[in-house]
Structure 1
Amino acid sequence: MTEKITRINPENMHETPGYHHITVVEAGRTAYLSGQCPLDMDGDVVGRGSPEKQADQVAANALAALAAVNAGPHDVVRSVIYVKSDHGPVLTSVWARLNASGLGPAFTTASTLLGVAQLGYPGQIVEVDLTVALPD
């Protein structure tokens, strides 16, 4: 884990299901990843109708993007997960699937999970937006 990142859960705030309320980053370089979508190498949406399969593809794409800037999941300082659903169990299943993936440590930081009405590609259910404190 990058030493310039501190994650905090204040004692006078509610407990979280794994993320931290606050992430502090000492001065340094950052990377802002575009929303990672469930697209394969051909640009096709994978796992149509399956939030879990889309979460797997999003995690794989995000890990590749992180590797391209010599970073890993522990270097993520902010995440936003978008799920095209207003059904609590669907949002929960995507959260659980992403946390169980190789990208899981990224979601121990300041994280937000949102149910939304629409995402950019037809058939898309999941997207992840990450901010990264680049290692020295």
Structure 2
Amino acid sequence: MPSSVQLIRAANLSDIAEYAYAATAPAEARLIFLAGSCPLAEDGTTVAVGDYAGQAAACVATMSAALAAAGATIEDVISTRVLVASSDQADLVAAWQVVRDAFGDHDVPSTLLGVTVLGYDHQLVELEAVAAVVD
């Protein structure tokens, strides 16, 4: 089923950004607010310790599982926020590229942030998302 999310481009804004600047969902859409997806194994340990890209991939997998549990897919995501525990831009870009690639042509509005620390031992990346589906 096609997504109900409409991505909006702004012709007067820079096209260097690898995402849409805005998105909408129809009034009848059910919004799904996902908790931050973390790079955790089933036993609660952090995976890909020290690896920004590896943790980003684990966050995408966690997000995808949470979306599926809510009756949605990555194509239903309307926005994301990527949190990276680093002040080094290269680390942020490493995590972002994995997230960006996972979304493919569905390049939702996103915010990429460098933060001081995240909640789990050895955690470097967290991925927040909001989705919209029409049931």
TM-score (norm 1): 0.90
1:88 to 2:89 alignment: yes
* Contact 1:23/1:77, CA 8 A, preserved across alignment: yes
Does the 8 Å contact 1:75/1:135 carry over to 2?
no
Q: CA RMSD in A?
A: 1.5
Determine if contact 2:5/2:77 at 8 Å carries over to the other structure. Answer: no
Counterpart of 1:7 in structure 2: which amino acid?
L
Which residues of 2 match residues 11-26 of structure 1 at below 5 A? 11-26=11-26
Is 2:8 the partner of 1:8? yes
CA contact (8 A) 1:70 1:135 kept: no
Query: Residue 59 of structure 1 corresponds to which residue in structure 2?
Result: 60
CA contact (8 A) 1:38 1:55 kept: yes
Aligned residues between the structures: 133
Aligned partner of 1:40 in structure 2 is: 41
Q: Which residue of 1 aligns with 2:74?
A: 73
Aligned residue in 1 for 2:130: 131
Cα deviation 1:6-58 (Å, max 9, x = unaligned): 11121111114321111111112111000000001111111111111111211
C-alpha distance in 2, partners of 1:64/1:16? 30
**Letter matched to residue 94 of structure 1:** A
Structure 1 residues 59, 36: CA separation in 2 closer, same or farther (over 3 Å shift)?
A: same
Q: 1:90 to 1:55 in 2, by over 3 A?
A: same
In 2: Cα distance, 1:61 partner to 1:40 partner: 9
Verify the 8 A CA contact 1:39 1:57 in the aligned structure 2. yes
Gapped regions of structure 2 (runs ≥ 5): none
How far, CA to CA, are the matches of 1:85 and 1:11 in structure 2?
A: 32
Partner of 2:111: 112
Residue 37 of structure 1 contacts residue 61 of structure 1 at CA under 8 Å; is this kept in 2?
A: yes
